[in-house]
Structures are given as structure tokens and as C-alpha cells.
Structure 1
């Protein structure tokens, strides 16, 4: 089964990190991702840009575009990992590995109901 492991964080805290602090956390996360990729569990992953750059489309018809995600929470969704495991327990263990190297993050683990492959979309030239 595919799982989306959604990474939430207090965005102001992330934005307060020095470039060196940010690089250190990202490097550790990439190391965990490399182990999961090698084991065949890690699919696409993304770190999202700042929520101030987000737009929300809502409303009837063509909808209205609004600035920001308007989340009513302390933490904002800042990234995700798409992973494949046989059980919920394995997905939770993977989230725990990510949390070990980014301990102030909150990880939401959700089974993926529908997955549409990208057919090379977003691939960068090698």
C-alpha cells in the first residue's frame, strides 16, 4: 500500500533557521531518504516553498483564487514523502526515522487512496 507521510512544522521556526542549520537538517533527512530509496520504499518527495507563496482555489464555478492556505493551525504543511509499505506499522516506523533527524516536525501518515503516476513529469535532465 502507498502512504503519504506529510511533514508539518511551525513555518516561522523553519524560516528562522540559519542557512547552515537548514542545510544540516536537510542533509540528515536526505540520508534517511537515501536508505528508504535503497530499500525500495521511497517514491516522490517534495519540500514545499513558503506558505506566503501559496494560493488557494475555492468556491463555486471557476472559483476564486485567494492568497495563502489559510490554515487554522500552528503547523503548516511543508512537504511530503510518498512511500510504499505492507503495513501501517512500517509506515509509522518510517515517519519515526524522519522525525529522529527532524525532531520538531510533525508527521501525518495517511494511506493513499488513488495514485496517478507522473510518466516522467518533473524529471530533470541527467
Structure 2
């Protein structure tokens, strides 16, 4: 337990024991001697910045999903059979956790965007018929 408490939070912040008691504890972890005498005057600012830094690195690789519209054909994930079932959006509540009321063959479900994906038929839609016109 002492090893856990004496491990630094990150490369610019001291260990929790050092922050709490303002002194270094002995540890069996190797450490550069120059880091032991380092003063941590601005550790509060660094602790406040840490969530912002984590958010920056998380947001680099994430993207937001497009919202659905009512009566749009979609696929909903069935957790029992581990398959995607065809369904249709009945109602949208974007204010409350971006939830959608979905009508399936088995009844009405309430799901968030994570369990829903657009149907391939709805994405093709009428635009595919515009490209392939037959001439006689």
C-alpha cells in the first residue's frame, strides 16, 4: 500500500503522500535524485489542468454521431441474440441522454445512440434510383 501512495501521479506531480504531508517518503521504487528535491509550488494548477489534458487527448480520436429523424429506418442491437434487428424511430428525446423510442417487431424500446445504427436501405434510399435510370 505504501508503494501505491508513494508513486507519483504523473511526471509533473508528486505522490499523494508528498502532497498530503509535504515530505518525501522512502520507497523501493527507483527515482532520479534531482526529482526528489524538486519543489511543487504549482501542483494545484497542475491538478486542475489534468482533466482538461485528458479531455484533449480523448477528443482527438472521437467523433459525434449524427442524430436520427422520426420514421427513419434503423437497426437496433438485440442484446439477447447479439444481432442487429430492423426497426423504425418513433420518438426522439435529445435533451434526456439523446434517447430514441424505437418500434421493433417485438414491441417498443427506448435506446440511446450507442445501440442504434442507420439501416443500409435508408442510406441508399431514393438516391440510388436517380443514378440508375433506364433508357428505352
- TM-score bin, normalised by smaller chain: under 0.3
Give the number of the structure whose alpha-carbon radius of gyration is greater.
Answer: 2
TM-score (norm 2): 0.25
Higher relative contact order (CA 8 A, sep 6+): 1
